[in-house]
Amino acid sequence: MIRLANVSKVVTSGSEKLTILHAVELFIPNGQFVAVVGPSGSGKSTLLGLIAGLDAPTSGEIFIDGENITRMSEDELAALRGAKVGFIFQAFHLIPSLTAYENILVPMEIIGIRDARERAQRLLDDVGLHDRGHHYPSQLSGGEQQRVAIARAFSNDPQILLADEPTGNLDSKNGRHVFELLLRLNRERGTTLLLVTHDHSLADLADRKISLRDGRIVEDRLLHFRIVDCGFGI
Amino acid sequence: MNFVWNMAYRELRASWHRLLFFFLCIAVGVGSIVSLRSLIQKVSASVTSEARALMTADLQVSSNNQWSDETRTILERYINHGSVLGHTEIIEMPTMISAVNKPGSVPKLVELKAVQAPYPFYGQMQLAGGQLYTHSLLEGQGLLAGQSLLTQLELKVGDEVRLGKLNFTIRGVIEREPGNTMNAFSFGPRVMIDYADAQAAGLLSFGARARYRLLFKTREGEAVKLTRQLRRELESQPGVSVRSYRDSENRLAESLNRVEDYLSLIGLIILVLGGIGISSVTRVFVQQKMKTIAILKCLGGDNRRVLGAYLLQVLGLGLVGSLLGVLLAALTVYLVPRYLGDRIPLNIEYRLTWEATLQGLSIGLLISFLFSVLPLLEIRQIKPILLLRNDTATGRQRVDWVRLGVGASVLLALIGLASWQAGSLKIGGIFLGGLAVTALLLSLVASFLIHSLKQVRHIRSFVLRQGINSLYRPGNQTKIILMAVGLGAFFVIGVRSLQANLLDEFSLNLNDVAADMYLINIQKDQQAEVAALIKKATGAEAKLIPVVRARIVKVNNEDVKLERRRNPAGRGLLSREYTITYRPNLEENETIIRGKIWEPAPGSEPEISIEEALHNDLKLDLGDQLTFDIAGRHVTAKITSVRRVDWRNSRTGFLILFRPGSLEQAPQTLISAIKGPPPGQARAAFQRDLVDRSPNLSIIDVFDIVEVGRRILNDISLAVTFVGAFVFLAGVLILIGSIAMTKFHRLYEAAILKTLGAKKKLIIYTVLVEYGALGLLAGLIGSAAAVALTWTVCKYGLEIAWHFVPAINFIGVAVTVLLVTVVGVASSWDVMIKKPLGILRAE
C-alpha cells in the first residue's frame, strides 16, 4: 500500500519558484488499479516519480508498505525499487545497447534472481515477443518496445507498478493492445497499478480515478469496487 | 556481481568501437614500455653472461704508456702465477692509413688494434663471408679492417695499404668484434694487425697516443682475487689501471639500469598522454550513457553496482589495450634485430621478458583505472528522475569528499607509478611535476587562443562562423585536443629546431674556424719537412708547437690522493694526463685573470700558468706548487698566473703553460693546428704527402669529426623524433576519439542545417574550417612551445647562438593543420553525407 502525507514539491526554475504539488494526501491500498488524469503540467508524472523514489518531496512524507521512503538514501531507494516497484515510461526507456531479452533480464540480475533467464523468456512469451528477444530496441517498433518495457516492469514481480502514459507514444491500435496487455498481467498478478493517462476512455476502466489540476487532487472517484487486500475498508 | 559482469560485457559489445582509440592509447604506451624494458633487460642479461667477452679476458692491466721496467717486473711475476692460464698483449691507437697504388686517395685516421696470439680469450671475431679468424691472418703484415674503411678508400680484400713504414695486405673484413661495445664515438674504422708488425712499422714512436693492455685468462673464480692483489702492487705505478671483467660488468649493469628507467619514463609520457585521452573519453562516454545509467538506477541498481559495471568496462578495455601493447612490443622486438642487429655488438636473445610484460600489463591497467575513475564518479550524480524530467540541476554545490579523496589518491598513485618507473622518488616527482607544468602552460595558451578565437564568431561569413562555433560545441574536447596534438607538434618541431641550431653551429664554425686540421705526433727531426709541406699547401707560415705529456703527481709536495677529492671534476683534473707546452708570451685568445705573465726570457726556476678551470675546481692559486711526472722525471713548478682561455676562438688551448727554460730538454713532440686546403684534390694530396713523409704523424681532420658528430646528432634526433611521433600519434588518437564521441551532435546539427537548405558543400566547408582552425591552433601552440624550448636550451644548456628556423616551424604547423584536417574530415565523413531525415527521426 502507498500513503502520501501532506506531500509538496517545489522546484526552482531560474529565479522563480514553482509549486508542482500542493500538500497532497493520498492512500492507495494493495491491488488497486488507479488512473491519474489531468492536463499537462498538473503534476501527474511528478507524483509518480515521488512514489517511485526517483525524486524527493520538498515537504511531507511518503510510505510504502508502512516504510517511510522520504528518509531513505539513494541506494536504499534503488534497492526498494528493485524489490517492489516496476516503472513504465511513455518514452519506453529501454537500454539501447541491450537486446529485448537482456533488457528484461536486467532488473532480475540486479537483485540476483536465480532462474532469471527462464523467467525472462517466459515474460517475452507473455508479451507476445517470443522470437524477437535477440532484437535491439532500435530494431523494434514502438508498440513492441513498450511491450518489452512492460515485461521488464513485471520481471521481478513488483507489488507496485507505475505507468507514466504508457500508450502516449503509440497509435491507437497499438496503444489499445499495450493497455490490454498491461491490464491482463496486472489482474493475473494482483499488482497495485498507478496509471497516468490523458485518455479518459482508458481511465474509465480503472478501479479508481484521481484527477489532478495545478498540483492539487480535484477529484477522487471509485469506479469499480473490487475486494482488495487492505486492512481497512473503502 | 553477476549483474556487473553481464552489464559490462553487454555494454562493451555495443560500444567498444567507439572506445577503440581508448585501447589504442594504452596499447601504444604499454608497447613502448614493454619493448624498451625487454630489450634492455636482454642486453643486461647478455652483458652479465658475456661480460668476459666484452673484456675478452678475465682481467686486464692497461696504461697510456709503455710498461715501465718496474711495472714489467711485477707483471712478469703474474704471468707465471699459478692462477693465470694465459696472457696476451694488445695495443690500441689512432693512426693514419693510406691506400697503396691509389694516387689521389685521402689517408684516413683509423682505430688500430695490434694483437698477439692468442686473441681473444673470450668471445669470437666474426669475419665477413664466414671466414674463420686465426692469428695467421695477421702474421706477416696481414690486416683485417671494418667494411667502412674499405668503402671509404675503395679497397677490397687482397689490396695493399700502408701503416707507418710498412705495407699490409687486407686479408679479411671484420663484421663483429668482441669487446668493441660503443663504437659510435670513435674517430675511425677498426683495423687489426699483428702486435709485432705494429712495432716494426714504427707506430710506437715516442708520443704516440697508444693504450697498452695486458690481458689475463685466469682460473675460474680467481680473477677477482688476482685483481685485488695486482691493484695493490701496481698502486704506485702512475697511470696503470687494473680491472676485472666483474668491474666492467657492474659498471655496465648500473648504467643500463639507469637507461632502462629513463626510457621507461618516455613510455610513461605516452601512457600519461593516453591517460588524459582516456579521461576525456570517459567523461563524454558517461554523458552519453546518462540515460542508460538513469534507467539502471530506476530499475533498482545502486551506485556501487552501476559504477562497478562501468569501471569493469574500462578495466576490460584497459586489459585488451595492454595485451595489444604487448603484441606491439613483441613485433618491435622481433623487428629490431632485422634493422639494428649489426649495430649491437652483443649476442642478444630478442624476446620479451616476463618481468617487462607483467610490468607493462599492470601499468596499462593502472593508468586506465587512474584516469577514468574521476570521470566515472560522475555516475553517482546521475539521478533517475531525469527519465521523467530533463532538469539535471540538483544540488551539486556541496563539497564532494569522495571525489576529493579519490582525486588525491589518484595523484599519489601517479607519483608512485612515475617513481617506480624512474627508480627514484625524486625523479618521479620531478617528471610528474614537469609534465604538470607543461600541461598547465599548454592549457593556458590553449585557453587564451580559444578565447581570442571567440572574436571571430561575429564574422559575416556563415561557413567561418559556423565552423568556429563548432569548436565550442558542448562536450567537444577542444582544449584537450589542442593540448595533446600541440604537445606532439611541440616535441617534433622542438627536436628538429634544436638539431638545426646545432648543425648550424657546426657548419658556421667550420667556415670561420681558425683551424680545420690538426697534425699531431710530429717528431722533432721532422719539424722542418712538415713545416715546408704546410707552407707549400696553405701558403701560410707553419706554427709548430712543442708538447709534452705530463701527469700531476704532487700538489704542494703532497702525494695526490684521489680518494680524498669529493668534487668529481677535480678528481678528473688530477688523474688525467695533460698535454702541456711552453712559450714566452700569451696567445690572442688568452687573458690573465690573476697574477701576471712572466718575462719573455727563459726563467731559471720552473714557472707555470694555469687555466681558470684548475683554479676553480682544484682550488689552486698563485704560489701553489705542482709536481709533474714527465716521462718518469719529476718536475716541480710554481703557479705564477691564472689564465682564461677563450676555447671557442682558438686553434689550440692549454690548461697548463710552462715558462720557457725548463722543458726544452724533456721528451717532446710537436703539433700544428692549420687551416688546410678546402676539401677536394688539394687537401687529399696534402694529407697524402704528410703521411708518406712522416708515417708516424696523425692527422685529425675536423671535417671528418664534424661528420661523425653530425651522424651521432642525426641518430639522436631521429630517436627523439620517433618518440615525438608517438606523442603526436597519441594526440591524433585523442582527436579521433573526441570526434567519434561527439558525432551524434554533429550528425544532428548537420541534419538540421540540411533541412534548412544547406548544401553538402557548405557542410564540408564548415567541417574544413573547424578542423583547419583546430590544427592551426595546435600547430601554433606546438611551434611557440618549441621556440621557447630551443631558445632556453641553446642559451642556457648548450650556450650556442639561437636562431629561429622558419622552415621547420612552418612545415611543422602546416603538417599539423593538414593532419588534423584530414583526420577530422575523414572521421566526420558520414556527418557530411548522411540523409537528414533518418537522423532527425532517430532523435
- 3-state DSSP call for residue B266? helix
Residue-wise pLDDT for B80-100, tens only, equals: 888 888 899 999 888 888 888
- Cα end-to-end distance, chain A, whole Å: 13
The H or E element that residue B629 is part of is strand B625-630
| C-alpha count within 13 angstroms, C-beta hemisphere, residue B570 | 15
- Among A12, A45, A54, the strongest candidate for a mutation testing the B interface, having the largest count of B CBs within 10 A, is A54
| Cβ-based contacts of B304 with chain A (< 8 Å) | 75
> Which residue among A11, A82, A97 places its CB closest to the CB of B299?
A82
Question: Residue B417 has which C-alpha cell?
Answer: 607509478
* CA-CA-CA-CA torsion sign (B456, B461, B464, B465): positive
Instruction: Tell me, yes or no, if B299 comes closer than 8 A to chain A by beta carbon.
Output: yes
CA B317, B318, B322, B325 torsion: positive or negative? positive
Could you say which DSSP state residue B797 is in? I
Any chain A CB within 8 A of the CB of B302? yes
B510 against A210, higher pLDDT: A210
Residue B830 pLDDT grade (very low, low, confident, very high; cuts 50, 70, 90): confident
What nine digits make up the cell of B223?
Answer: 680473477
Average pLDDT rounded to a whole number, residues A92-96: 89
Say what the pLDDT of residue A2 is: 93
**Do the Cβ atoms of A95 and B292 come within 8 Å?**
yes
The whole-number average pLDDT for the span B416-434 is 80
Q: Do B14 and A97 touch (CB under 8 A)?
A: yes
Q: To probe the interface with B, which of A95, A113, A115, A169 has the most B CB atoms within 10 Å?
A: A95
- Tell me, what's the pLDDT at B307? 93
Instruction: Mark yes or no for CB contact A54/B388 under 8 Å.
Output: yes
Give yes or no for A156 touching B (CB within 8 A).
yes
Is the pLDDT score of B184 beyond 50? Answer: no
Has residue B214 got a pLDDT over 50? yes
Give B-chain residues touching A98 at CB under 8 angstroms: 10, 14
Angle among Cα A195, A196, A197 to the nearest 5 degrees reads 110
Contacts of A154 in chain B (CB under 8 A): none
Whether B843 contacts chain A with CB within 8 A: no
- Which residues in chain B have Cβ-Cβ distances shorter than 8 Å to A150? none
Give the residue from B482, B442, B488 showing the smallest Cα distance to B778: B482
Q: Would you place residue B273 in the very low, low, confident or very high pLDDT band (cuts 50, 70, 90)? A: confident
What's the average model confidence in pLDDT over A6-23?
87
Q: Which residues of B touch A79 (CB under 8 A)?
A: 300, 302
Higher pLDDT, B47 or B296: B296
Residue in B10, B299, B389 closest to A107 by CB: B299
CB contact under 8 A, B7 and A109: yes
**Which residue of chain B has the CA closest to A163?**
B388
**Cα gap B213→B359, rounded to integer Å:** 42
Q: Does A231 touch chain B (CB under 8 A)?
A: no
Highest mean pLDDT among A178-192, A203-217, B5-19: A203-217
How close B299 comes to chain A (CA, Å)? 6
CB proximity A144 to B under 8 Å: no
Alpha-carbon gap, residue B392 to B366, rounded angstroms: 32
Is A78 within 8 Å of B300 when comparing Cβ atoms? Answer: yes
Cross-chain Cβ contact B300/A79 below 8 Å: yes
Of B247, B199, B180, B723, the C-alpha closest to B487 is: B723
Asked if the Cβ–Cβ distance from B292 to A97 is below 8 Å, we say: yes
Residue numbers in B near A105 (CB within 8 A): 6
8 A C-beta contact, residue A152 and residue A98: no
Q: Pick the residue from chain B with its C-alpha nearest to A110.
A: B3
pLDDT digits (tens, 9 = 90+) for B656-694: 999 998 888 888 888 888 888 887 778 888 888 888 888
| Distance, CA of B843 to CA of B839 (rounded, Å) | 7
* Mean per-residue pLDDT, A220-233: 67
pLDDT recorded at residue A233: 39
Looking at residue B182, what is its pLDDT? 43
Which of B200-204, B481-485, B492-496, B804-808 is the most confident on average? B804-808
For residue A231, what pLDDT is reported? 45
End-to-end CA separation in angstroms for chain B: 34
A110–B3 CB contact, under 8 Å: yes
Distances (CA, A) of A7 to B393, B482, B710, B789: 21, 51, 82, 65
For the segment B370-400, what is each residue's pLDDT rounded down to a tens digit?
Answer: 999 999 998 998 888 888 876 545 455 577 8
Cβ-nearest to A109 among B6, B14, B842: B6
pLDDT bin (cut points 50, 70, 90) of residue B323 is very high
Q: HSE-up of B129 (CA within 13 Å, CB side)?
A: 6
Task: Tell if the CB–CB gap between B305 and A110 is shorter than 8 Å.
Answer: yes
Mean pLDDT computed over B810-837:
83
Q: Do B484 and B277 touch, CB atoms closer than 8 A?
A: yes
**B208 and A CB contact within 8 Å:** no
> Which chain A residue lies closest to B14 (C-alpha atoms)?
A97
Residue A45, classed as helix, strand or coil, is: helix
Whole-prediction pTM value?
0.68
User: Smallest Cβ distance to A81: which of B2, B299, B387?
Assistant: B299
Res B508: pLDDT:
57
Nearest C-alpha neighbor of B254 from the set B423, B122, B30, B55: B423
Question: Looking at beta carbons, which residues of chain A come within 8 Å of B291?
Answer: 93
Please compute the mean of the pLDDT values over residues B592-608 and round it to a whole number. 88
B296 and chain A in contact, CB less than 8 A: yes
Identify the residue among A40, A50, A92, A110 best suited for mutation to test binding to B, counting B beta carbons within 10 A and taking the highest: A110
Which residue type does B530 have? Answer: V
- Residue B556, by phi and psi: left (phi above 0), alpha (psi -120 to 50) or beta? left
CA B79, B80, B86, B88 torsion: positive or negative? positive
B484-535 per-position pLDDT tens digit:
788 878 878 887 888 788 777 766 566 666 678 888 888 888 888 888 888 8
Output the pLDDT for position B510: 62
Question: Would you state the pLDDT for residue B347?
Answer: 64
Mean pLDDT in chain B?
Answer: 81
- pLDDT of residue A230 exceeding 60, the answer is no
**Which chain A residues touch B2 with a CB distance below 8 Å?**
109, 112
- Residue B707 scores a pLDDT above 80: no
Q: How confident is the model at residue B585 (pLDDT cuts 50, 70, 90)?
A: confident
**DSSP per residue, B117-128:** SS--SSS--EEG
Query: Distance from B378 to chain A by nearest Cα, in Å?
Result: 15
Residues of B in contact with A96 (CB under 8 A): 14, 292
Report the phi/psi class of residue B359: left, alpha or beta, with left for phi > 0 and alpha for psi in -120 to 50.
alpha
Lowest mean pLDDT among A67-81, A159-173, A209-223, B703-717: B703-717
Q: pLDDT tens digits for B338-354?
A: 766 555 555 667 788 89
Instruction: Give me the mean pLDDT over the B241-257 stretch.
Output: 77
Q: Which of B14, B296, B298 sits opposite A54 (nearest CB)?
A: B298
Cβ-defined contact of A82 to B15 (cutoff 8 Å): no
